Each structure stands twice: as C-alpha cells, then as structure tokens.
C-alpha cells in the first residue's frame, strides 16, 4: 500500500481534519491542530507530506521517526501537532486495513468503559452552579472549569477570595456528590499559585491543572510539597522528552498530553507508559473535535493508568461547530453517566461526514483566542 494524497480541511469551530489517501482506496483521518495556529500547522503538515507521498502507511514507527528527526529541528507545538494528526491518520489506515479498532493493535482493552468529564463555565465562569446542575441532570458527576480569572503577577486578597468563593459555592451546592478539576490555565504565577492552592485545599478539587505555566515546570515539585491536591499538566508539553524531565523532577500526579499536540497515538502511548512507571495517572487533554477524542479514547482503552478523559461536547469554545456535527456514527459516542464504551469499528472508530467537512471548510473561521490585558494595560494570560 502507498500513500497517494494528503488533504487538510480547516473547519468550524477551530479544528483541522487531515485526510490521507492510499493506492488501495483505504483512507485515514487525523486532527492536526494547535488552537489558534491552524494555518501554521496546516503549512507544517504539507511540508511534511514530502516525506509521506509514495511511502507505505503501515510503517508508522519509521514514518514517525522520519517526521520527527529528518528536519533537524524538532519538538514544539506546531511540528508535534502536525506529526500528531498524521500519526492518527496512519493508525486509522492500519486499523481499517486489518479490520480492527486501533486498541486491538495496541494490545487490547484494559477496561470496559472510559469515564469522561465535562467543561462548565466559560472563560470567566459565571452561572457555574446552573451549568453543573444541567450536566448532573444528564448523568455527569465530574467537571472542569477555569480556576480563576486573570491574576496579576502578585494579586490581592479580593482576587483570591473571588476564586475560592466560587469553589465554596460549588461544594455548598453539591457536597461531594460531584468532583471537579480547576484549570489555572496558565493564568497563575508561581507566587500566586502558592497562595491560591493553600486557600483551595479545604475544598478538595479533584486536581489543579496547569498550576503554573509549562515553562515554570520546576515549580511543580515545590507546589506539590505544600498541598494534598493532585497537580495536573501536559497540554502544553509536546513530546516524551519534555514529559521525561517533568516525571523525573516529580510534582505532577496527572499527565494530560494532548493527542493532537504531543505527536499522536505513537508518542502518547510512550508518555502513558512513562507515567505509569512513576505511578502518575493519565488524563489526555482534548478540547477538540471527534477525531482527536477518538485518538484519546484508543489510548485510554489500553492504558491502565488512564483515569478520566476530557471531551469538548458543550465546551464554551465550540461556537459554530460541535463534536458530533461531523460524525455519522454518533451513537458510538453516546455518553452513559459520563462514560463512553469502546468503539467497535476498524481504525479510530469515527465515520465522518466528508461532504459536510468539505462544505464547512469553504469558509472556516481562523479562530484566535482573545488577547487579555490587565487593568494597567499589560498583557494578561488568557
């Protein structure tokens, strides 16, 4: 079998789908995207296609190493997202060629269903109680929300109290019938993380995500030493070589590699195994579309230390497009009390509405996250 063509489709709300065609008629799909940099990743995918056209798609490991090493420069969000989507599509082809779901090629199921969580609240969580109740009513019991609004490098007690009050209200309304992760979203500096985590300790969030920015990873063990709350990170780390350093230094209880940013299934399987060796849990990051989610689930189905999966149905970013819009086999993505069952179809398990993808790609928005500024005019972390 030989790869014959690579096509990319940027689609609403902010995703990009990749189609790899072969001379035997089998097609694989992937989702190479870095939110807000879709066009840059698209250029990277097409630059990399020079290494792929005419090649045997079955040689996923060799193609992955070529894409990672052949260009001399490596790593980072753009290149590793391009590789991620290509890798997903190659696994999709291999599963379809052999007539089995990808997880069968990775050693088979380690669990019968995967627990997911739902985002609630938006960039500035308001009406959070109402949002949670709406999802509790349909069976969810685990959620994630932004842990705070923008914070200054050193902020005041009012800002800290506002963040803590929201969490206190959630616990007051729902007790321990629900769990929630708090995503600091990189908005919190190391000094403020110490203060905010201390004040949040009594409310026992399930985890605190990106307690500091990935470039401040040396603070993970220091922050972990002051709290019992599990710390999580990973969406802005792009290869096993970055996760290696974080695992060796300690501090993270949960790794959140993004299957569309960290090199795809091939790379994230290695990251999952490394995490297990350090007794660290896996919770793949996925605020993206259906192909990214399917790739995450294939890894969750075979990774013992995977404990929960992010999915973006109803997330505040999905304006103009929802996860299942492009999916024909919607029933396979059914959530029963927040859990999803293993896919049965070959490959990644997603059957796509290609006509709709092509149609919506004709005027896809070039999504950007907002540029926030503090009251003094300085740039704020969004």
Ligand X SMILES: O=C(O)C(=O)C[C@@H](O)[C@H](O)CO
List active site positions.
185, 285
Least Å from the CB of residue 364 to ligand X: 16
Of 42 and 183, which CB lies nearer to Mg ion in the complex structure? 183
The answer to the question of residue 31 lying near ligand X (CB under 6 A) is no
**Dihedral, 51, 57, 58, 64 alpha carbons, nearest 10:** 40
Beta-strand pair 15-22/3-11: antiparallel
Tokens for 77?
A: 């969000």
The answer to the question of residue 12 lying near ligand X (CB under 6 A) is no
Residues between 295 and 314 with contacts to ligand X, criterion CB under 6 A: 310
Nearest residue to 306 via CA among 317, 295, 291: 295
Least Å from the CB of residue 355 to Mg ion: 33
Of 150 and 183, which CB lies nearer to Mg ion in the complex structure? 183
The answer to the question of residue 332 lying near ligand X (CB under 6 A) is no
* Dist CA 286 CA 317 (whole Å): 12
The answer to the question of residue 287 lying near ligand X (CB under 6 A) is yes
235 is in an annotated binding site: yes
Please give the size of the binding site for Mg ion, defined by CB under 5 A. 1
Residues between 230 and 259 with contacts to ligand X, criterion CB under 6 A: 235
- Candidates 285, 308, 323, 348; binder of ligand X (CB under 6 A) is 285
Of 61 and 369, which CB lies nearer to ligand X in the complex structure? 369
Least Å from the CB of residue 86 to ligand X: 21
Q: 218-249 burial, b for 16+ CB within 10 Å, e for fewer?
A: ebbeebbeebebbbbbbbbbbbbebbeebbee
Nearest residue to 89 via CA among 136, 133, 49, 36: 49
Contact 199, 227 (CB under 8 A): no
Tokens for 138?
A: 């349909």
- Candidates 245, 369, 378, 379; binder of ligand X (CB under 6 A) is 369
The answer to the question of residue 35 lying near Mg ion (CB under 5 A) is no
Nearest residue to 17 via CA among 294, 318, 289, 321: 289
Which residues are registered as beta bridge partners of 314? none
Of 51 and 382, which CB lies nearer to ligand X in the complex structure? 382
Which residues are registered as beta bridge partners of 207? 181
The answer to the question of residue 96 lying near ligand X (CB under 6 A) is no
The answer to the question of residue 183 lying near Mg ion (CB under 5 A) is yes
183 is in an annotated binding site: yes
Binding site for ligand X (CB under 6 A): 35-36, 183, 185, 235, 285, 287, 310, 317, 369
Binding site per annotation, positions: 183, 209, 235
């Amino acid at each position: 079998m030989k790869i014959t063509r690579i096509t990319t489709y940027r689609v609403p709300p902010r995703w990009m789908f990749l189609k790899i065609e072969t001379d035997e008629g089998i097609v694989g799909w992937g989702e190479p995207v870095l939110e807000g940099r879709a066009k840059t990743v698209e250029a990277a995918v097409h630059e990399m296609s020079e290494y792929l056209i005419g090649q045997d798609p079955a040689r996923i490991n060799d193609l992955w190493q070529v894409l990672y090493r052949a260009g001399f420069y490596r790593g980072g969000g753009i290149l590793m997202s391009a590789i991620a989507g290509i890798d997903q599509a190659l696994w999709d082809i291999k599963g379809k060629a052999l007539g089995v779901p990808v997880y069968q090629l990775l050693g088979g199921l380690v669990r019968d269903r995967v627990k997911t969580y739902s985002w609630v609240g938006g960039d500035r969580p308001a009406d959070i109680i109402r949002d949670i109740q709406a999802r509790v009513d349909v069976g969810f019991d685990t959620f994630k929300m932004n842990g705070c609004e923008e914070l200054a490098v050193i902020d005041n007690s009012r800002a800290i109290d506002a963040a803590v009050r929201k969490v206190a209200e959630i616990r007051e309304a729902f007790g321990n019938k629900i769990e929630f992760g708090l995503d600091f979203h990189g908005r919190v500096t190391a000094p403020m993380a110490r203060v905010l985590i201390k004040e949040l300790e009594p409310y026992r969030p399930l985890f605190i995500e990106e307690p500091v920015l990935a470039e401040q990873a040396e603070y993970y063990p220091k922050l972990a030493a002051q709290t019992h709350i599990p710390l999580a990170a990973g969406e802005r780390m792009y290869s096993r070589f970055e996760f290696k350093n974080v695992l060796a230094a300690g501090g993270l209880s949960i790794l959140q590699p993004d299957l569309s940013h960290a090199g795809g299934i091939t790379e994230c399987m290695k990251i999952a195994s490394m995490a297990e060796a350090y007794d660290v849990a896996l919770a793949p990051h996925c605020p993206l579309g259906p192909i990214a989610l399917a790739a995450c689930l294939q890894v969750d189905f075979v990774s013992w230390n995977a404990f929960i999966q992010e999915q973006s149905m109803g997330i505040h970013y999905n304006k103009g497009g929802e996860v299942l819009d492009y999916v024909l086999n919607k029933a396979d993505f059914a959530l029963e009390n927040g859990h999803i069952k293993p896919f049965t179809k070959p490959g990644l398990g997603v059957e796509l509405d290609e006509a709709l993808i092509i149609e919506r790609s004709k005027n896809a928005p070039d999504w950007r996250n907002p540029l926030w500024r503090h009251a003094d005019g300085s740039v704020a972390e969004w």
